[in-house]
Structure 1
Amino acid sequence: MRTLIFYILLFDAILFTGVFWYLEFPWYIILLLFLVFLIFTALASSQIRWNLFVSSIHSGNKVGNQIALTFDDGPHPVYTPLVLDILKQHQAKASFFLIGKNAEKYPYLVERIFEEGHTIGNHSYSHSNTIGFSSKNQWIQEIQSTNLVIQKIIGKTPKLFRPPFGITTPHLGLALKQTKMTSIGWNHRTFDTAQKNVDAIVRKLEQNVQAGSIILLHDSHERIQPLLEQLLTKLANKNLSFVSLNELLDEKSYLEV
């Protein structure tokens, strides 16, 4: 249905462009109207929480004071072990959305994540800067290649998918449906790869995070260690506990074979 809506909007944009051209509207009016459509489409693609092209899960059960920490872009040979050490120290569980080419390069880290009771999800194989322009078949290749890498390492095939950059498109929606994957978003984005002020990130989360929250973090940069240490302490003081996504959402983490 979401894909159908997109193509209806595209058809309408082209149709009205033709009508206005036929009625001899000024060219800049026609261009402006078409730019409005393009801008709306770009915004909709970049706003995963709009659920326009892909239906994603952004929060979980608010009963029980549980929240989910999620880490994108790993595994990283330096920072993922640090994150795992901190999580173990605080007896916290989390979910890791892995890039396929990284998982292929560091299989021992994939094993460790799984063996320590954390959930593993799919974050595409390449995480290319232009991945948002992928066709349905290219998305399917990205998803299946990563699932195959992870399945060979832990013996299970991920069911949860986090779109790179949070970008969603009609083609991705079709690919997720065909591969039977579930898209996972978030309701707290930290921008921790760009935000240098760790204290500011922690302070904002401490003020806004509630039971059922899904927090987006990255185990791919040097600030994640002090950020995670502070965050776990501050949120635990609010009587919040840290669980994997399958527990928070009551959602299966892995596909049935």
Structure 2
Amino acid sequence: MKERLLFTFLLIVAIYTIVPWVATRIFAIGVFRRGKVTNQVALTFDDGPDPVYTPLLLDLLQKHKAKATFFVLGAKAERHPELIERMHREGHQIGIHNYSHKSNWFMSPWSVRSKQADRSAEIVASITGTKPDYYRPPWGILNVFDLFFLKHYTVVLWSVMPKDWRSRVGRNKLKSRLLNTIVPGSVVLLHDSGETFGADRDAPSHMLDALDDVLSHMKERGLVTVRVDELLQASMKYRLGLFKRVLVNAWMAWERCFVKLFHLKSVDSDNPLVKLRVREYQGRQSIVLPDGEQIRKGDLIAEMHLDNYTLFKLGIDSRSTVQLATQLIRRTRTLMPAISKLLLTDPQYENVKGLYGITMIHRGSKQLGFAVFDLPEGLFARMTRTYLRLLLYVVHPNGKERLKEKTDLLEPKIVAISKNELKTRYIA
């Protein structure tokens, strides 16, 4: 009897806590945590307003003409209404982060809604005249009833968390983490207060120092900082259904495993479209390139792989496979000098015959000097065709429709270019 009661209790606790954690953190069900755009990033700040750090942050955002979203605590908003009013006046978005910084796991769903979220929203509305409808729970933790009781709020999590609440992270490490992880569509979690449990009081000072440099670098990369509601609105046309979202997440997880398993290396960390690995060519038929170079079975080649996440980001803005191919050619063209230099100077590539790949999006590759060959018919060709068509379905939000386009545009081909041709075309 005791064991049954214990099991029932643990089951209830799991449903109340773990189920919503899995649903929101892994599958993003009922929450927004990443945008599908090409040049926008949302900076978000939790735990404020703080009388010391929030004014400095607002000055910094004004300096860089950047907009942000503040998820504020209702209790602090009551104490510092002038900061809430300034956020609103300067065009920033104000969201809710509960009345006090308590975990939703340790409160009833009725308390979360009435005493935490709704109470805080009313406080902000009394100051600005606008009631917030965006919500982020402390630590990003929801209970299972929040998924239903907080339906009138847009629940926002994050895709970048540099752990800025610890002073020991410091300015330089924090700056590096942000620059290495922020991509178009990122929702960045930062803190303008260090008073909550587990945080260091002076941590926001390091965040401010790092953010000043990061905002400058983001401008150089063509990234625009926007409010969460603006990022969400821009992403609406790219929102995916549950099945497609699960499939995309699974595919991207496979991509990460594949990269590690086969030791693929990016040519350029700032433009991760192309990854390379050295391997032996296993084709049954030799490849004879236009300059006379031959790639025979057993010869070393630099095998080229396109980054699926980058493909997905390009695909969401492509109206057709032709347009996607055009974008790929443009991006690849900028990488060709770096690829050529790598193959011609790096000892790892000393014995390779050339650059080789199999792609279904080969339109325009001849402009870059690649020769294009048909895949020899057989089991490998059929498997490759199936794999690449599935890949197109995954990486393109309208992949199902894209698969109905002209089949000659969706036929996998071998593309290859010799070392000598790379040297002639791209090395001065």
What TM-score range do you get, normalising by the shorter chain?
Answer: 0.7 to 0.9
Among 137, 153, 157, the alignment partner of 1:181 is 153
Question: Structure 2-normalised TM-score?
Answer: 0.47
Give the Cα–Cα distance (whole angstroms) in 2 for the partners of residues 35 and 176 of structure 1. Answer: 25
The more displaced of 229-238 and 91-100 is 229-238
Q: Residue 126 of structure 1: which of 82, 92, 100 is its match?
A: 100
Say which SS state the counterpart of residue 50 (structure 2) adopts: coil
In structure 1, C-alpha distance between the alignment counterparts of 2:220 and 2:21, rounded to whole Å: 34
Could you tell me which amino acid in structure 1 is paired with residue 159 of structure 2?
N
Look up the SS of the partner of 2:55 in the other structure.
Answer: helix
Larger Rg: 2
CA deviations 1:54-93 (Å, max 9, x no partner) are 6110111313x01110000110000000000000000111
Cα offset for 1:239?
1.4
Q: Structure 1 length as normaliser, TM-score?
A: 0.77
1:193 equivalent among 158, 165, 182? 165
Give the corresponding residue for 1:76.
50
Cα distance change of structure 1 residues 201 and 44 upon mapping to structure 2, 3 Å threshold:
farther
Mapped partners of 2:98, 2:18: distance in 1? 21
Are 1:226 and 2:202 an aligned pair?
Answer: no
Structure 2 counterpart of 1:238, one-letter code: R
> Structure 1 residue 199: deviation in Å?
1.4
Alignment of 1:159-174 (within 5 A): 159-174=133-148
Residue 120 of structure 2 is aligned with which of 139, 146, 149? 146
Matches within 5 A, 1:21-32: none
1:244 equivalenced with 2:227 (yes/no): yes
The amino acid that maps onto 1:50 is: I
User: Contact (CA 8 Å) 1:73, 1:97: kept in 2 or not?
Assistant: yes
- What do the CA deviations read for 1:106-144 (whole angstroms, capped 9, x no partner)? 00000000100000001110112x442111110112111
% identical equivalent positions: 34
**Distance 1:190-1:36 versus aligned 2 partners, 3 A rule:** farther
Q: Which residue identity does 1:185 align to in structure 2?
A: L
**Contact 2:174–2:207 under 8 Å retained in 1:** no
Report matched runs for 1:19-168 at 5 Å: 48-51=24-27, 55-63=30-38, 65-128=39-102, 130-141=103-114, 142-168=116-142
> How many pairs are equivalent?
220
Kindly indicate whether the alpha-carbon contact (under 8 Å) linking 1:150 and 1:158 is maintained by their aligned counterparts in 2: yes
Residues 12-36 of structure 1, C-alpha deviation per residue, up to 9 Å, x if partnerless? Answer: xx9xx64xx9xxxxxxxx98xx979
Unaligned runs of 5+ in 2: 194-203, 235-428
CA RMSD of aligned residues (A): 2.7
What secondary structure, in the 3-state scheme, does the structure 2 residue paired with 1:146 have? helix
Runs of 4+ in 1 over 4 A off after TM superposition: 34-48
User: Residues 68 and 243 of structure 1 are in contact (CA less than 8 Å); yes or no, is this contact kept in structure 2?
Assistant: yes
